[in-house]
Amino acid sequence: MASPMDCRYTATHEWCRADGDMAAIGLTQHAVNQLTDLVYVDLPGPGATVTAGTACGEVESVKAVSEINAPVSGEVLQRNEIVTGEPANITKDPYGHGWLIKVRMSSPAELDALMDAAAYDASLED
């Protein structure tokens, strides 16, 4: 299944959906498939700063703990408490209700450095 067109993607399997200067961030279906059952997620709260390309949180399954890398830099506005309370919600709807954080972008130009849906899907083929 093709990745949603309205998102941009990182090589480390995070998606980013911009709306003005706000961006919602989450994990791609591919990431969710690799991780299998999620048991815990650790995310920065409102007010925290995230930097593009660096780890801003962690997601844990029984198999692995993986870092979540911020696709863009900015200030965290919201953390999705539905997933922190029940990480399985990420798996159920990774591009919708399973979003992780919303940030106010400090430099929206960073979006251009990310892959579009087609490029991301192509990268998964390799």
Partner 1 sequence: MPEPLIFNKSQRGQRGIRFPDSDVPDTGPALPERLLRRRPLRLPEVSERSVVRHITILSRENFCVDTNFYPLGSCTMKYSPRCNERLASLPEFTDVHPYQDDEGCQGTLEILWRLQELLKEITGLPAVSLQPAAGAHGELTALLIFAAWFRSRGEKRKTVLVPDSAHGTNPASCRIAGFEAVQVRSDAHGLVDVADFESHLDGSVAGMMLTCPNTLGLFETRVAEIARRLHDVGARLYIDGANLNAILGITRPGDWGADAIHINVHKTFSTPHGGGGPGAGPICVAEDLGPFLPSPTVEQAATGIYHLRPGGDQSIGRVRGFLGQVGVLIRAYCYIRRLGGPGLRRVAENAVLNARYLRERCRKDLDLPYNGECMHEFVLSAKELKDACGVRALDIAKRLIDHGIHPPTVYFPLTVEEALMIEPTETERRRTLDFFADVLHDIVAEARKTPELLHEAPHTTAVSRPDEVRAARELDLHFDWPEREPQIHD
Partner 2 sequence: MAYLGNPPYIQEEMLHVLGLRSHADLFRSVPEALRLKGDLNVPPMMSEMELDRHVRRLAARNRPAAQTISFLGAGVYDHFIPAAVELLAARGESITPYTPYQAEASQGTLQTLYEYQTMIADLYGMEVANASLYDGTSAAAEAALMARAITRRPKVIVSQTVHPETIECLKTYLVNTDAELVTVPYREGCTDLEIVANVLDDQTACILVQLPNFFGIVEETDKLVEMAHAIGALAVASVNPISMGLLRAPGEYGVDIVVGEGQPLGIPMNMGGPYLGLMATRREFVRQIPGRLAARTVDRRGNESFCLTLQTREQHIRREKATSNICTNEGLMALRAMLYLSLVGAEGLAEVARLCAAKAHYLARRLAEVKGFEIRYAAPFFNEFVLQCDQPADRVLARLAKRGICGGVLLARFYPQMDSRILVAVTEKRTRDELDAYIEAVQQ
Task: Tell me which residues touch partner 1 (CB under 8 A).
Answer: 37, 39-40, 60-62
Q: How far is the CB of 55 from partner 2 (least distance, A)?
A: 10
- Chosen from partner 1, partner 2, none, partner binding at 2 (C-beta under 5 to 8 Å by type): none
Based on CB atoms, which residue is closest to partner 2, 6 or 58? 58
What binding mask, one character per residue, do residues 66-105 give for partner 2 by CB under 8 A, x or -?
----------------------------------------
Taking CB under 8 A as the rule, does residue 122 contact partner 2? no
DSSP 27-90: E-HHHHHHH-SEEEEE---TT-EE-TTSEEEEEEESS-EEEEEPSS-EEEEEE-HHHHH-THHH
* Continuous segment of H or E residues that includes residue 120: helix 117-125
Distant-in-sequence, close-in-space partners of 39: CB < 8 Å, separation ≥ 6: 60, 61, 62, 87
∠ at Cα 33 (49, 66), nearest 5°? 35
63 binds partner 2 (CB under 8 A): yes
Closest distance of CB 119 from partner 2, Å: 29
Write down the least CB distance from residue 62 to partner 1, Å. 4
> Which residues contact partner 2 by CB under 8 A?
40, 60-65
